[in-house]
Structure 1
Amino acid sequence: MPGRELAPAFTLQGAREAGLTKDQVYSLLDREEIERVGRGVYVRPDAIPPAFTALAAATTLREEATLCLTSALVHHDLSDAIPFASDIALPRGTHHPTGLANVTWHSFDPRTFEIGRECADAGQGAKVAIYSAERTLVDCFRLMHQEGSDVAHEALRRWLRRSGNTPARLLKIAGLFPKALPRIRQALEVLL
């Protein structure tokens, strides 16, 4: 069956490299064997869980795409929010792809972009990047003016209740972000 040799998330160019024509891709679309998630970007719904669809598609276009902020909080079970769009970061200065459904792009400093960036399996070998819980907390405190202080504080409360999490571990990451460090120290003093 055509389409089985396709990557879980792919572009039209990727489909061509897998030996499919544009007409065969459209036929797969008509039969709902693949889904279009953006201009020229497709996923195999049997291969990618819905929670990773936007991130896998973004990663297909930009390898450095990384789940961040509220979406990463939800992934780490540090928030009950239901984001309308996936928060995805790219290094500042990188072109944000257009035409992807349900993605909110964020630009993070290239010097700190890799800090706390972890790889995850999005299904059938598709690799995606997600910021660690600690990095996500730091970003929420760092960008409190956008995310809201209650979001950051509630996520920190949840994180602290989990066994194995220590303030020292969080402060180590926060130390690499001078603007966030005082806010996190203050929040930890209140909560502990």
Structure 2
Amino acid sequence: MAAMSTLRPGTAEEAGLSRSGLYRAAREGRLERIARGIYLPADAPAADWDWIEAATRRSDATICLASALAHHELTDAIPTALDVAIPRGSRTPVSTGAIAWHQFDRATFDIGREEIPIPGTDQTIGIHSPERSIADAFRLRGEVGYELARESLKEWLRRGGKPARLMEIASQLPRAKSPALQALEALA
């Protein structure tokens, strides 16, 4: 099946539907409401609705912290909500899904950020690289816990992660360099 686009009341016309046609299709079960104002065709392949909602609400939404570490298979922790970074000072979207919005400094927002496809859709979402995610876990260890940072670092090193690359990123982020360096030295 082809990748599906999300539909919103404001974009329904592009898909050949009036707003009332969009709501009628949802009532009749041809469209599935995945979040307030966001619909997918009912026969769309399974996809991560929280990813879709985050990417639809904010084009700069970026999976971060524990959610990025879990995606990169660097932690066994299963986040209760999708951790999503947006630039500090942006309006935090109202969301119906399990999304934890985090505001990251605009000056460092794009460091280690890449775009990945959302499976089953024609959308993409930002995600922080393993190195950025580890550096952020050390930087925000008071919020996410020191164990998350340490365990992710150990797994990343076990898989051949390059300490110089981690330190290059950690050096660009406030409060990340020193704890990351101390942890690397302790594990060496």
Counterparts of 1:120 and 1:6, CA distance in 2: 14
TM-score by length of 2: 0.89
CA distance in 2, matches of 1:92, 1:179: 17
What's the offset of the Cα at 1:100? 2.9
SS at match of 1:12: coil
**Aligned runs of 1:1-192 on 2, under 5 Å?**
7-44=4-41, 46-47=44-45, 49-50=47-48, 53-123=49-119, 124-163=121-160, 165-192=161-188
Which TM-score applies when normalising by structure 1? Answer: 0.87
Are 1:6 and 1:18, in contact at CA under 8 Å, matched by a contact in 2? no
Output the CA distance in 2 between the equivalents of 1:72 and 1:43.
25
CA distance in 2, matches of 1:83, 1:176: 26
Gaps of 5+ in 1: none
**Change in 2 beyond 3 A, CA 1:71/1:33:** farther
Contact kept in structure 2, 1:119 and 1:127, CA below 8 Å: yes
Q: Is the 1:137–1:152 Cα contact (8 Å) retained in structure 2? A: yes
RMSD over equivalenced CA pairs, Å: 2.2
Q: Aligned pair count?
A: 186
Gaps of 5+ in 2: none
- Alpha-carbon distance in 2 for matches of 1:132, 1:6: 25
Q: Structure 2 vs 1, CA of residues 184 and 35 (structure 1 numbering), >3 Å: closer, same or farther?
A: same
Q: Distance in 2 between matches of 1:34 and 1:159?
A: 41
CA offsets, 1:129-171, max 9 Å, x none? 11111111111110000000011100111111113x2101111
Secondary structure of the 1:129 match is: strand
Change beyond 3 A, Cα 1:34–1:130: farther
Contact 1:54 1:103 in 2 (8 A): yes
Distance 1:9 1:156 in 2: 36
Letter matched to residue 126 of structure 1:
Q
Where 2:86 maps in the other structure, the secondary structure is strand
User: 1:25 deviation in Å?
Assistant: 2.4
| CA spacing shift, 1:146–1:20, aligned 2, 3 Å | same
Give the secondary structure class of the aligned counterpart of 1:156: helix
